[in-house]
C-alpha cells in the first residue's frame, strides 16, 4: 500500500470507508511524519497528539457504524493556522502577545471541520498576526521550505502550506489577506485557494484586516481543495460579512467538469502582471500554462487592468489602518501579554504592546495609526478607498466584457532565501504585488503548482474569477494540474 501520508484526502476517504486502514492508523502516520521532519521545518506551533488520537478513535467508531454515510472529512487530519481559535487548544497568532492564550470557543470554520469529522492535528506557524510574506516574523522562529531549507515557504500562511507539502497533513486551513494562501502555495508546490470575500465565515479568526481577511484551504490536489472548500463554506449568523448563498457541491461538480471541454472559455492575460522584475522562469511557466488551456479549447485574450500598479500602495494603507484598529484591544489589561513592574497606566500600555508585538506588527500599527490620524485621513485612507473602487471596477469590466477567468503569475519570483529581504520591508511588501489586487476586489483566486524553475523550486499559476466563481476556478485549475504532472508528494515519506 502507498504510504498513507502520500494519499490525497479523497483517497484517504475511500480507504477509511472501505476499512483498508483506520483513522487511528492514518492519524499516527501523520503524527509520526511530523515527529520526523516537523522540528526542522518548524511548521507547527502546537501539535495536538492527545486530542487527535481521541478524535481518531471516535472517527473509527463512526466509520464502522455509518461507513459511506459518514461526514466527508471523517478521520482525515487537518492542520489549522494558529490565527484560528480552537477551544481548549493554545492559539498564539505566532506572537508573544498571545503566547499562552487558550480560547474558550472555536472559530466557525474549525467547528465545521469537526462537524464534518475532520481531526485537528495541530496549529501551524506563520507570520505574526498574519503580517508578512515569508513566515519569518514569528516568535517561534521561521518556517522552512521543504524544497530548500535555506529558503522561505512564503507567508503569512507558510506553516499550513509546508504541513501539506511535507505530508504532515493532507489538508490545512489558512487565511489570505493580501496573498497569504496563494503565495505560500506557489513557493511550496501545493494548491491554495482564497475564496470570495464572504463565502467563508471569519468568526473566530483573529482579525488582521477585516475587509480583506478570508479563510481558505491548502491541499495537495484540486480535488482535495474542493472537498475542504465545500466543508467550510456557507452563511454564518455570527459573521455579518458572510453571504447567504447556497454552497455548491464543489467536489461532485468538479468530477462532472473534468469531462467537459474548455471550448468557449475566455482566459484573460493581464498585461500589467507581465512586467519588469518578473523572473524569466516564472513568466515562461505562465505562458506555457496558457498554451495548455488553449490546447484544451480555451481562447486566450489579452486584457488590461489599468489600476494594478496602485493596488500595493492601496493595500498598505487599508490593511495597516484596519490592523491598527483591530490590534488596539491588546493593551495588557484584559488578556494577552502584560508587562511587569509598572508605575503607571501609560507605562502598562506602552511596555505591554512594545514587548508583546514584534517589529513588523509594530511597523504596520504605526503606519495604520498615521493614515487614520487627523489631517491625513482624507489624504491617505479615504483616497485609498476611492482607488480600491477603481481596482474593483477594472476586474468587473474585464469579466463582463473580455474574459471568464484571469491567468497570471502568483509572485514575481520563486522562494527567496531566509533573511534575504529581512532588512528591506519595501522589497518584502513587493512580494504581494500580484496577489493584492484580487484581495482588494474580494475575488476568489487559486494557485496551482505547474513546474520547477532552474533552481528546482516550485512555480505556481494564479487563476482569478468573478465573485463566487470558485467552481470555474477549480475546473480550470484541475485542467492545469492534470497537464502539469507535478509531484506534490515528494516529501510525504513514511
Catalytic residue numbers read 81, 156, 180
To 10 degrees, the CA torsion angle through 27, 29, 33, 36?
Answer: 120
With residue 317 as reference, give the H or E element that holds it: helix 308-326
Q: How many CB atoms lie within 10 A of CB 133?
A: 28
Assign 316 to helix, strand or coil: helix
Contact 52, 27 (CB under 8 A): yes
CA distance 172 to 487: 19
CA distance 230 to 247: 7
Q: In what order do the strands lie in the sheet with 299-303?
A: 44-47, 119-124, 77-81, 171-176, 214-219, 191-194, 445-452, 458-464, 405-409, 266-270, 299-303
Residue 177: all three cell numbers together: 489577506
Count of alpha carbons within 13 angstroms of residue 433, beta-carbon side: 18
Residue by residue, what is the 3-state secondary structure of 218-243? Answer: EECCHHHHHHHHHHHECCCCCCCCCC
Q: How many CB atoms lie within 10 A of CB 263?
A: 9
CA distance 119 to 101: 21
Decide: residue 243, CB within 10 A, 0-12 exposed, 13-18 middle, 19+ buried. middle
Amino acid at each position: 500500500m502507498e504510504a498513507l501520508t502520500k494519499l490525497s484526502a479523497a483517497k484517504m476517504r475511500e480507504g477509511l470507508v472501505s476499512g483498508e486502514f483506520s483513522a487511528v492508523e492514518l492519524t499516527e502516520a501523520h503524527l509520526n511524519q511530523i515527529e520526523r521532519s516537523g522540528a526542522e521545518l518548524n511548521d507547527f506551533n502546537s501539535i495536538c497528539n492527545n486530542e487527535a488520537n481521541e478524535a481518531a478513535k471516535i472517527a473509527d467508531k463512526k466509520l464502522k457504524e455509518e461507513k459511506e454515510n459518514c461526514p466527508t472529512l471523517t478521520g482525515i487530519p487537518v492542520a489549522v493556522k494558529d490565527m484560528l481559535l480552537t477551544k481548549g487548544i493554545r492559539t498564539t497568532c505566532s506572537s508573544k502577545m498571545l503566547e499562552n492564550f487558550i480560547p474558550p470557543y472555536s472559530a466557525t470554520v474549525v467547528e465545521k471541520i469537526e462537524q464534518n469529522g475532520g481531526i485537528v492535528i495541530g496549529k501551524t506557524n506563520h507570520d505574526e498576526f498574519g503580517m508578512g510574506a515569508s513566515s519569518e516574523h514569528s516568535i517561534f522562529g521561521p518556517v522552512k521550505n521543504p524544497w530548500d531549507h535555506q529558503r522561505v515557504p512564503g507567508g503569512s500562511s507558510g506553516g499550513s502550506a509546508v504541513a501539506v507539502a511535507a505530508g504532515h497533513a493532507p489538508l490545512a486551513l489558512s487565511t489570505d489577506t493580501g496573498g497569504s494562501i496563494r503565495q505560500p502555495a506557489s513557493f511550496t508546490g501545493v494548491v491554495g485557494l482564497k475564496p470570495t470575500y464572504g463565502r467563508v465565515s471569519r468568526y473566530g479568526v483573529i482579525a488582521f484586516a477585516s475587509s480583506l481577511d478570508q479563510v481558505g484551504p491548502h491541499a495537495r490536489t484540486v480535488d482535495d481543495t474542493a472537498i475542504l472548500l465545500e466543508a467550510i463554506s456557507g452563511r454564518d449568523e455570527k459573521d455579518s460579512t458572510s453571504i447567504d448563498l447556497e454552497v455548491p457541491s464543489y467536489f461532485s461538480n468538479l468530477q462532472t467538469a473534468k469531462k467537459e471541454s474548455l471550448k468557449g472559455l475566455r482566459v484573460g492575460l493581464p498585461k500589467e502582471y507581465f512586467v519588469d522584475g518578473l523572473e524569466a522562469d516564472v513568466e515562461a511557466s505562465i505562458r506555457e500554462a496558457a498554451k495548455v488551456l488553449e490546447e484544451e479549447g480555451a481562447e486566450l485574450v489579452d486584457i488590461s487592468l489599468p489600476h494594478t500598479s496602485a493596488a500595493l500602495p492601496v493595500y498598505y494603507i487599508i490593511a495597516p489602518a484596519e490592523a491598527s484598529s483591530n490590534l488596539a484591544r491588546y493593551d495588557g489589561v484584559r488578556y494577552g501579554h502584560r508587562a511587569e513592574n509598572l508605575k503607571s497606566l501609560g507605562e502598562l500600555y506602552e511596555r505591554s504592546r512594545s514587548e508583546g508585538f514584534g517589529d513588523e506588527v509594530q511597523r504596520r500599527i504605526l503606519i495604520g495609526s498615521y493614515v487614520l490620524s487627523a489631517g491625513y485621513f482624507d489624504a491617505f485612507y479615504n483616497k485609498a478607498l476611492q482607488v480600491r473602487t477603481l481596482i474593483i471596477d477594472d476586474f468587473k469590466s474585464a469579466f463582463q466584457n473580455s474574459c471568464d477567468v484571469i491567468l497570471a503569475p502568483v509572485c514575481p519570483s520563486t522562494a527567496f532565501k531566509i533573511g534575504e529581504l529581512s532588512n528591506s520591508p519595501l522589497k518584502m511588501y513587493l512580494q504581494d504585488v500580484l496577489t493584492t489586487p484580487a484581495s482588494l476586489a474580494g475575488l476568489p483566486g487559486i494557485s496551482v503548482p505547474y513546474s520547477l524553475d532552474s533552481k528546482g523550486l516550485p512555480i505556481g499559476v494564479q487563476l482569478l474569477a468573478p465573485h463566487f466563481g470558485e467552481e470555474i476556478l477549480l475546473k480550470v485549475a484541475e485542467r492545469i494540474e492534470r497537464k502539469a504532472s507535478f509531484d506534490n508528494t515528494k516529501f510525504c515519506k513514511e
